């Protein structure tokens, strides 16, 4: 027979999957001898059965009966006994803490008879009736679905009638009257009396906790925290102890260290003559633990001893709920406490110094997400703000500046020393100059994987996208939010962490953690404004350096400019995993690429090549110089063709207007004919990447020659350049072989001219499912692979990255089709399977082939663990994500060696 019920004495802290976090920790506290009210846990297996079948397992009622009998024997009172009643609390408890997301019912077991017995047993009539009105209120709202506001209104009316402000000031007679009112509310709302059968109360409360797993708030919380919907919750049934017995009783919550700063000390809240929900609800002002020391010194000393024991036992910051019943301390729950990102790093290093954990365990206690939140500047929380609107938080940080509505204006104003916010309906590649110049980017359209979002994250620029309330008129250089009109030059502030947009200036607090990575420890310590900030910088330094010492994978950066390369190196990048050469052709050079593509003959095309060659060579020299001694993987040009061609619609309008006037413009006619001939319905799957290099071979040849000459230039200058050539969008070994044959000829020519032997590896970017599944063949012509997981995700799912997020991703998330965007975190089952196939196939052909990833996923903490597990040699990400990748690569190595990640 399946076992669905465990006494607290039967479990331990390592059984969170079965008993949930709360149940496992109650069992652990019981077993180490701390004062825990007796009880039992109904497993997550029972919840999963309930969710699947709509009813509890048939074995459950009998097992609950046996567990209740055991508790009755331990306590010496009986559940349902009208004379000396045993009462229970019924609480949720999932594997992962979900505070406030699921339901609790206290005082289960009270009815019209046992309330009298409880009053006599406790010699406290007021306490008994207060407990009964709490049961009716909580049970009716949670189990019966009665509007909780009806009970709150009745309670407030009773206090107003009696001229009192707080619940404890109500008398026993007042509470009796309230119970009668509450029971009538139940009848009016449900058509039935409040249940008097105590076992029915217990069974319904258990089912209510199961049902609360799927409430809207719980589902939303799990989605945000990336918790599986399949886990289910355990139910903890525990003997009630009462903090509302009078002034010698109370309830509270405490932490073994400050969860905001990590500092050791006495932190917590306490309420006299109250039950647990009163502390959480905030309906009364709490006292501090220092006040408890004065009120009840013996209980305070016992609590401090228990706090110390639990922190020593769990070797971590603990969160503890407790009740004092008539001067006797009881512990109702403990868990490893939630904390701020800064506290996570401080506590981890403090525990090393205290000898409780080692450096590996400390690294396991912090996350890349926490480090990310520490690196971006934030607005001063205490500063006054005027909220305009809210969009999607696309790239963290805080940015303030004058509104500009186009790239040219952004560049112009920034050159004058003015901080600007680039405001667009949506951005496109032509906006890159303005995006670089701007302090922040704000768009009315787009999602977290839109152009603005991806580019901003890559540059470390603050961005808010998809602010749909914005009505932007770029021509008039103004935007509206409701009745509010803002014009070019007006100041706004955007928060890329929350998605909020504010009117006017808001003070920004810089991050010493970012200064640490950019300029070193001494500079960061000098910037730190207080001891807490200095402790934080030291803690980050210590743990990131340890991550570097244990990680297997290298961390490289995606960098397209010398400035990006230098920044990446300062942030700890061990090379460049992706240089996107098409970004070098935007702005003034775009016309030259257009001339190459639309050339009428070889002479015109060669003229454009000749103009591009020295520019490309200079680009590569600068980047190789910035990364001297480290690998620089240069991807040959990979744009959708339309990004370098005139807009077809614009040309069609010009042509039609001219014809309407009986005129003709030969240049417009020629361009229209050429662009119309090359127009693609789906340019992302059209003439781009290796296909463009095969159709217009001179374009790739130019870039390969520029790379070779830059490498030769650096060698002759006494440097140590390490260029690699990466061919994009390869789907066939023959495609790569043709490019490789041409490249080897060019490398030999340049090398001979320079009197050098140029050894420049040539590899493939794996972005197509076909490339992944035929990797064994493609590896024959390749020195390395880099998985371009952005396009690999797009082609695997059949998603258009620029369109799908705003169109239906929210529906997919709500319906559980995926828990997070596959463009944010690797789709392990689909895209991940192709990456794994690519690794296995390529290494079957070439066991020593170097493999990496250069998509957005290269900087995503969860994805990094997958890439480590499948055996990639490096990840490459934007410069600002390099520190996060370094930390997570270290954690991934520990995970692979047996540590469980936090």
Catalytic residue positions? Answer: 451, 854
What span, in angstroms and rounded, lies between the C-alpha atoms of 635 and 846? 22
Taking phi over 0 as left and psi of -120 to 50 as alpha, with beta for the rest, 207 belongs to alpha
Q: C-alpha angle 740/742/746, rounded to 5°? A: 110
What span, in angstroms and rounded, lies between the C-alpha atoms of 220 and 880? 29
**Packed helices 114-122 and 125-142: angle between N→C axes, nearest 10 degrees:** 140
The total number of residues shown for the chain amounts to: 902
Where do the H-state alpha helices sit in 143-233? 148-162, 172-190, 198-212, 216-225
Question: Tokens in use for 722?
Answer: 């390490």
What span, in angstroms and rounded, lies between the C-alpha atoms of 14 and 421? 50
Task: Give which of 495, 490, 462 is closest to 477, Cα–Cα.
Answer: 490
Query: In the beta sheet, which residues pair with residue 392?
Result: 465
Element (H, E) at 541: helix 531-550
SS3 334: strand
What span, in angstroms and rounded, lies between the C-alpha atoms of 838 and 777? 10
Total Cβ atoms within 10 A of residue 215: 13
What span, in angstroms and rounded, lies between the C-alpha atoms of 661 and 650? 17
Taking phi over 0 as left and psi of -120 to 50 as alpha, with beta for the rest, 587 belongs to left
Contact 324, 243 (CB under 8 A): yes
SS3 177: helix
- The 3-state secondary structure of 809-825, one letter per residue: HHHHHHCCCCCCCCCCC
Element (H, E) at 91: strand 88-94
Phi, psi (deg, nearest 5) at residue 478: -150, 160
Identify the burial level of 398 via C-beta atoms within 10 angstroms of its C-beta, where 0-12 means exposed, 13-18 middle and 19 or more buried: buried
Where do the H-state alpha helices sit in 629-687? 648-660, 666-678
**Packed helices 602-626 and 590-598: angle between N→C axes, nearest 10 degrees:** 140
Identify the burial level of 716 via C-beta atoms within 10 angstroms of its C-beta, where 0-12 means exposed, 13-18 middle and 19 or more buried: exposed
Question: Tokens in use for 757?
Answer: 């032997």
What span, in angstroms and rounded, lies between the C-alpha atoms of 134 and 605? 83
762-766 and 722-727: which strand pairing?
parallel
The beta strands (E) that lie in 546-618 are given as 554-558, 575-580
Task: Give which of 94, 67, 69, 93 is closest to 81, Cα–Cα.
Answer: 69
Task: Give which of 524, 520, 526 is closest to 511, Cα–Cα.
Answer: 524
Task: Give which of 552, 547, 554 is closest to 874, Cα–Cα.
Answer: 554
SS3 493: strand
Contact 842, 849 (CB under 8 A): yes
Contact 497, 376 (CB under 8 A): yes
- Taking the alpha carbons at both ends of the chain, their separation in whole angstroms is 34
Where do the H-state alpha helices sit in 722-828? 733-754, 769-773, 775-778, 789-797, 801-804, 810-814
């Amino acid at each position: 027979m399946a076992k669905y019920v465990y006494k607290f004495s039967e479990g331990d802290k390592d059984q969170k999957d079965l008993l949930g976090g709360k149940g496992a920790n109650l069992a652990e506290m019981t077993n180490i001898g701390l004062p825990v009210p007796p009880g039992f846990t109904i497993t997550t297996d029972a919840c999963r059965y309930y969710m699947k079948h709509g009813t509890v397992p048939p074995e459950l009622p009998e097992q609950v009966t046996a567990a209740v009998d055991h508790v009755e024997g331990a306590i010496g009172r009986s559940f349902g006994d009208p004379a000396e009643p045993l009462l229970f609390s019924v609480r949720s408890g999932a594997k992962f803490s979900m505070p406030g997301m699921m339901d609790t019912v206290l005082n289960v077991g009270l009815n019209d008879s046992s309330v009298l017995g409880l009053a006599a047993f406790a010699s406290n009539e007021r306490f008994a009736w207060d407990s009964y009105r709490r049961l009716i209120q909580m049970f009716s709202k949670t189990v019966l679905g009665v509007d909780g506001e009806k009970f709150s209104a009745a309670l407030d009316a009773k206090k107003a009638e009696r001229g009192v402000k707080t619940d404890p000031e109500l008398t026993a007679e007042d509470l009796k009257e309230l119970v009668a009112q509450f029971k009538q509310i139940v009848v009016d709302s449900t058509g039935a009396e409040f249940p008097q059968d105590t076992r029915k109360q217990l069974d319904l409360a258990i089912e209510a906790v199961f049902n609360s797993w799927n409430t809207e708030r719980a589902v939303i919380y799990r989605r945000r925290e990336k918790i599986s919907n399949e886990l289910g919750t355990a139910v903890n049934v525990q003997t009630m102890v009462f903090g509302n017995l009078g002034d010698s009783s109370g309830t509270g919550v405490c932490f073994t260290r400050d969860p905001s700063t990590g500092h050791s000390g006495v932190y917590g809240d306490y309420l006299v003559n109250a039950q647990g929900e009163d502390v959480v609800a905030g309906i009364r002002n709490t006292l501090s633990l220092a006040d408890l020391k004065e009120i009840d010194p013996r209980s305070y000393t016992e609590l401090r001893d228990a706090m110390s024991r639990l922190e020593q036992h769990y070797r971590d910051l603990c969160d503890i709920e407790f009740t004092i019943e008539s001067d006797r301390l009881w512990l109702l729950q403990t868990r490893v406490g939630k904390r701020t990102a800064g506290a996570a790093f401080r506590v981890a290093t403090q525990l090393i110094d205290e000898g409780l954990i080692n450096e590996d365990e400390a690294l396991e206690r912090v996350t890349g997400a926490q480090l990310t939140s520490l690196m971006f500047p934030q607005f001063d929380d205490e500063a006054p703000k005027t909220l305009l609107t809210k969009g999607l938080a696309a790239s963290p940080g805080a940015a303030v500046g004058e509104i500009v509505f186009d790239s040219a204006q952004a560049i112009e104003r920034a050159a004058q020393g003015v901080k600007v916010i680039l405001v667009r309906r949506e951005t496109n590649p032509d906006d890159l100059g303005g995006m670089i110049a701007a302090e922040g980017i704000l768009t009315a359209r787009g999602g977290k994987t839109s152009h603005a979002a991806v580019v901003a994250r890559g540059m470390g620029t603050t961005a808010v996208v998809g602010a749909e309330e914005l009505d932007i008129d770029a021509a008039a250089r103004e935007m509206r939010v409701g009745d509010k009109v803002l014009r070019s030059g007006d100041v706004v502030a955007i928060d890329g962490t929350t998605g909020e947009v504010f009117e006017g200036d808001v003070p920004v607090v810089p991050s010493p953690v970012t200064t640490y990575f950019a300029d070193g420890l001494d500079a960061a310590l000098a910037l730190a404004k207080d001891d807490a900030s200095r402790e934080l910088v030291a803690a980050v330094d210590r743990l990131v350096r340890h991550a570097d010492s244990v990680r297997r994978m290298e961390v490289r950066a995606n960098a397209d400019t010398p400035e990006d390369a230098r920044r990446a190196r300062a942030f700890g990048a061990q090379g460049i995993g992706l240089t996107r050469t098409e970004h070098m052709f935007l702005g003034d050079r775009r016309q030259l690429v257009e001339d190459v593509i639309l050339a009428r003959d070889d002479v015109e095309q060669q003229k454009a090549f000749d103009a591009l060659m020295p520019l490309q060579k200079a680009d590569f020299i600068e980047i190789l110089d910035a990364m001297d001694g480290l690998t620089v993987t240069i991807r040959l040009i990979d744009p959708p063709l339309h990004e370098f061609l005139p807009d077809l619609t614009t040309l069609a309008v010009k042509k039609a207007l001219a014809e309407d006037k009986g005129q003709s413009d030969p240049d417009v006619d020629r361009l229209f004919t050429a662009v119309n001939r090359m127009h693609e319905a789906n340019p992302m799957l059209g003439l781009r990447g290796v296909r463009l290099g095969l159709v217009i071979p001179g374009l790739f040849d130019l870039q390969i020659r520029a790379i070779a000459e830059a490498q030769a230039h650096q060698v002759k200058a006494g440097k140590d350049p390490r260029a690699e050539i990466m061919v994009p969008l390869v789907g066939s070994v023959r495609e790569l072989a043709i490019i490789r044959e041409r490249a080897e000829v060019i490398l030999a020519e340049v090398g001979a001219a320079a009197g050098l032997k140029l050894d420049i590896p040539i590899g493939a970017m794996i972005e197509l499912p076909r490339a992944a599944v035929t990797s064994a063949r493609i590896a024959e012509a390749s020195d390395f692979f880099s998985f371009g997981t952005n396009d690999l995700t797009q082609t695997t799912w059949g998603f258009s990255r620029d369109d799908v997020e705003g169109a239906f991703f929210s529906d997919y998330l709500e319906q559980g089709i995926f828990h997070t965007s596959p463009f944010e975190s690797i789709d392990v089952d689909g895209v991940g399977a192709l990456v794994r196939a690519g690794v296995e196939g390529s290494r079957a052909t070439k066991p020593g082939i170097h493999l990496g990833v250069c998509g957005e996923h290269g900087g995503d903490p969860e994805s990094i663990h997958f890439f480590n597990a499948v055996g990639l040699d490096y990840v490459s990400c934007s410069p600002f994500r390099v520190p996060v990748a370094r930390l997570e690569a270290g954690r991934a190595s520990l995970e692979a060696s047996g540590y469980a990640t936090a």
